[in-house]
Structure 1
Amino acid sequence: MNAIDRLRNHLETRWVAPAYGSLVLGGIALCFFGAATNTMAGWLYAISGAIAGLLILGAILPAQSLSRLVVRRSPIAPVSVGDRLSLELQIENPTDRAKTLLQVCDRLPHVLSESPKHAIEVIPPQKTHRWFYSVEAQKRGVYRWHDVQVKTAAPLGLFWCRRDRAIAAKAIVYPTVLPLAHCPLVDTIGREESVQASSNRRYQAATEGVTRTLRPYRQGDPTRLIHWRTSARLGEFYVRELEIVTSGQELIICLDTAATWDADCFEQAVIAAASLYFYAGRAQLKVRLWTASTGLIQGNRVVLETLAATQPGETPTTAEIPPLPLIWLTPHPDALNSLPANSRWLLFSPSLAVSMPKSPDFPGFVVELEKPLAPQLQRSLQ
C-alpha cells in the first residue's frame, strides 16, 4: 500500500475521504474564489461560498449516516469440508430517519474466502436489514475474525466514510469423514485371527442363539435377521441385533501431531483419524482420540472440533497414552515396534521410499498419497 492509499484509508476510517467529484467541485470553488478576489464581483463569492457549503455538508452527512447503525451476527453452524458455510448479518437502524446507500463488507480470513460485499439501498426507520450469504468451505480449520465494515457516501456522494464494527465470529470447518463400509484396521484389532474368523462365520450364518436385542427394521438390514414372531405380534418388522465380540472393546486413535509433517500428508492423516473414529463408534467400540496437545478425548463434536483445529508440530502434554490397543497415525516409522499389544499403524509419507523396520511387530501399511484414501483404509492387512 503506497502513501496515497494509506492516507486515503486513514481519512476514510477516521473522518471522510474525498471522492473524485468533491475534488472537482473543490477546484471549481477555488477558481470562482480566485476570480472573485480579482474582480470583486459579489456573485462570484456567492457561487464559491455555495460550493464550499455543499462540500462541508457532503463531508458531515456520511459520518452521521453511519453513527447509530447497529450490526449483529447470527451464530455460524459448523460444516464439513466441501459444504457451504451459511452466514447472516443483521444491520439495524434504530433512528427515526431512513439510512440509504450503504455498503457492508464482512472481513473474512483470506484462507476462507474473499471478503464479500453487499449493497443496501435503504433501511427504513426502526427496521433491520438481514444479509444472508454463503461461502464454500474448502479447507478444514477454526476460523475467527472480528471486523465488519460499513461504508457510505450518502447523500451527496462527495465523500466516503467507512466505519469498522468489532463483531467476533467463529466458523468451524470439520474434516471430511469417509463412509467406510468396512475397515480391517479396526475390525481385527484386539482379536486373534481364529477368534475373528469364528465370529465372522457366526455373524453371517446366525439365526438363533446370539441375539443381543431386537430393534425396528432399518433400510439395508438383511432379511435373514428379521424376527418373524415379534414382527407378526407388533405389526412391523423387527430385526435381531447380534452379539459381536468387539462390543465393549476399547480403542484409541492416535494422531502424532507432535511430529513434523508434510502438509498434504497431515491433511490425509486428519481425514483418516476422523473416518476411523466414526467407523469404530459404529462398530460399538469404546473409541477415543489422542493428539499431542489435547491428550485423550471422546465425543463426536469434541473430536471433530479438535481435528478441525489441530496442526502439526504441537507441544506435547504430560498425559501418557494408556497401554490399550491403538491405531498410530504418524509420518515417522521409528516407534512402530514400541506400540501397545494388538495395535495397528498407518504411515504417511510423501515418498514411498521410507526406511521401514525390517519386521514391524504389528500390522499396518503405508498410505499412498496419489491414490484415494477410502479404498486404502478398507483394504486387507495381508
Structure 2
Amino acid sequence: MNTRIFSWLETRWVAPSFSGWLLSGLACFFFLAATNTMAGWLYVISGVIFSLLAIAARLAKQTLHQIQLSRRPILPVSAGDALTIEVLVQNGTPKRKELLQVEDLMPSVLGQPGRRVVETLMPHGTHYWVYEQPAAKRGLYRWYTVRVKTAAPLGLFWCRKEFEVGAIATVYPTVLPLSRCPLIDELGREPSLQANLHQRSHTATTGLTRSLRPYRWGDATRMIHWRTSARYGELRVRELETFSSGQEILLCLDSANSWDLDAFEQAVIAAASLYRYATRQALNVRVWTAGSGVIEGEQTVLETLAAIAPGEAAQTDYLPTSPVVWLTQNPLSLNTLPAGSRWLLWNAPPKEPITPPGLVMQPERALHHQLHDRPTSL
C-alpha cells in the first residue's frame, strides 16, 4: 500500500525522498518546540526548513517541464543477437536541466528495463541514448512507456513522468546455415534434369539476355557484349536468364494444432532455415501457416515466423493441393498430404505405413545435423 501511495505521489505531484522525510520531521519538531516555548528563533528555523522543502518540491516538478522523448525505429535482429535501441531526450526550455533518470519499460521477457542517468541536458538540447538489449528469444515485442524521474536539484523530493513512446522490436528466429538439405533438393526434382540444367547455366554463351551490366573483375570474357562495349567505351557483360525447373516449394507449418513449446520453436527454426536454403538455391519457395495462409518474400516470412504461436486461429480452411513440406507434431496428418510431399515430424511416428518420405526429428540430436539427413519412408 505504501508503494502505491508513493508511486501516486511521484506521478501526480512529488514524493519525499529519505532526506526529505528527515528534513520534514525536523521542521515539524522545531515548529512544535516553538509552539511550546514561544521562542521566535525556533519559528524562524522551522519556517526556513519548510520554505526549503517547498522550493525543492517546486524545482523537482519544474525539472520535468517540457521534456520531450522520441525514439528511432528498431532494426530487426535474429534470436541471440542484441537489439540496438535509440531514445532521444529533448529539452524544450531555455534552461539547463540536470540529473534525469530515464527508464525504458520494455517487456520482462526481454530482460530488465534499460536505465540511463542524464547528468546535464543543455537548453534546447538533445541527449542521444543508445543501448543494446540482448534478445534471446524470437518474437514481436511492443512497449509504449519511457519513464523520466528526477530529484534535482536538492534531492529532497522525487518527481516522475511517463511518456508514451511506442516501440516495436522484431526478433527473427535463428536461421541455420545449411550446406545441403536432401529434403529440399529431392522434392519433385529429377537428378538428371537438374544436373543438365546446372551444367547449361554455367557453360552457356547464348540464350535469352536478361540485361547488360558493366564488367566486373572475374567475369568470363565470353559473356562480354562487344558491340555494346564499343558504343559505350567500356566493357559490358551479358546476364542470361537463370535456368530452373519451375518447381515450386511450399513450406507448411502446422501452427493451428497444439505443440510442445520446445518442439514448436525447433519447427519455426527449421522453417526459416529451409526457406533461406531454398532461396539460395534459386528455387521458387513460399511459406504457409494456418494464421496467414501463403506468404512470400524473406522479410514477410521472417516477420510472420517471429510472431507465430502454436494453436493460432486458422484463417484458411484448406491446405494447398500441390506437394508441400509439412512441419507438424501430429502424426495422423502425414497420410493426408498431397502426392510428392515431404514432412518433418516432432513426435513418435504412427504404426501404419506412411507413403511420402520424411524425417522424424529426434530431440537428442542437433537440428542442424538432422536437416542434412536424407528423408525416408516409414
Question: Structures share a fold, TM > 0.5?
Answer: yes
- In 1, the alpha carbon distance for the partners of 2:22 and 2:193 equals 89
CA displacement at 1:267 relative to structure 2:
0.5
CA displacement at 1:185 relative to structure 2:
0.9
Q: Taking structure 1 as reference, are residues 179 and 231 closer, same or farther at Cα in structure 2, changes over 3 Å only? A: farther
- 2:232 maps to none
Counterpart residue type for residue 346 of structure 2: F
Assess if the C-alpha contact under 8 Å between 2:291 and 2:314 holds in 1.
Answer: yes
Assess if the C-alpha contact under 8 Å between 1:105 and 1:116 holds in 2.
Answer: yes
Are residue 200 (structure 1) and residue 191 (structure 2) matched?
no
Are residue 79 (structure 1) and residue 73 (structure 2) matched?
no
Q: Taking structure 1 as reference, are residues 242 and 107 closer, same or farther at Cα in structure 2, changes over 3 Å only? A: closer
- 1:95 maps to 93
Assess if the C-alpha contact under 8 Å between 1:227 and 1:238 holds in 2.
Answer: no
CA displacement at 1:283 relative to structure 2:
2.1
Runs of 4+ in structure 1 deviating by more than 6 angstroms, as ranges, are: 204-207, 209-219, 231-242
Can you give the 5+ residue segments of structure 1 that lack an aligned partner in the other structure? none
Assess if the C-alpha contact under 8 Å between 2:178 and 2:277 holds in 1.
Answer: yes
- 2:355 maps to 361
- In 1, the alpha carbon distance for the partners of 2:361 and 2:11 equals 51
1:252-291 aligned at under 5 Å gives the runs 252-291=250-289
- In 2, the alpha carbon distance for the partners of 1:126 and 1:204 equals 65
- 1:183 maps to 181
Counterpart residue type for residue 294 of structure 1: S
Assess if the C-alpha contact under 8 Å between 1:210 and 1:243 holds in 2.
Answer: no
- RMSD, aligned α-carbons: 2.6
1:303-342 aligned at under 5 Å gives the runs 303-342=301-340
- 1:161 maps to 159
CA displacement at 1:153 relative to structure 2:
0.4
- 1:55 maps to 53
Residues 84-127 of structure 1, C-alpha deviation per residue, up to 9 Å, x if partnerless? 11111111101011011110000011101210110011101111
Can you give the 5+ residue segments of structure 2 that lack an aligned partner in the other structure? 230-234
Assess if the C-alpha contact under 8 Å between 1:203 and 1:242 holds in 2.
Answer: no
Matched residue of 2:123: which SS?
coil
Identity score, percent: 47
1:110-149 aligned at under 5 Å gives the runs 110-149=108-147
CA displacement at 1:28 relative to structure 2:
1.1
- In 2, the alpha carbon distance for the partners of 1:296 and 1:151 equals 47
Matched residue of 1:130: which SS?
strand
Matched residue of 2:45: which SS?
helix
Assess if the C-alpha contact under 8 Å between 2:291 and 2:316 holds in 1.
Answer: no
- In 2, the alpha carbon distance for the partners of 1:379 and 1:205 equals 28
CA displacement at 1:22 relative to structure 2:
1.1
Counterpart residue type for residue 91 of structure 2: N
Assess if the C-alpha contact under 8 Å between 1:90 and 1:129 holds in 2.
Answer: yes
- In 1, the alpha carbon distance for the partners of 2:183 and 2:275 equals 11
Q: Taking structure 1 as reference, are residues 96 and 198 closer, same or farther at Cα in structure 2, changes over 3 Å only? A: closer
- 2:367 maps to 373
Name the count of aligned residue pairs: 366
- In 2, the alpha carbon distance for the partners of 1:69 and 1:130 equals 14
- In 1, the alpha carbon distance for the partners of 2:32 and 2:352 equals 93
Matched residue of 1:166: which SS?
strand
Residues 25-63 of structure 1, C-alpha deviation per residue, up to 9 Å, x if partnerless? 111112211221122111110110110111111112111
- 1:104 maps to 102
TM-score scaled by length of structure 2: 0.89
- In 2, the alpha carbon distance for the partners of 1:113 and 1:42 equals 56
Residues 287-345 of structure 1, C-alpha deviation per residue, up to 9 Å, x if partnerless? 11111111111111111100000000001113522211110000011011111121000
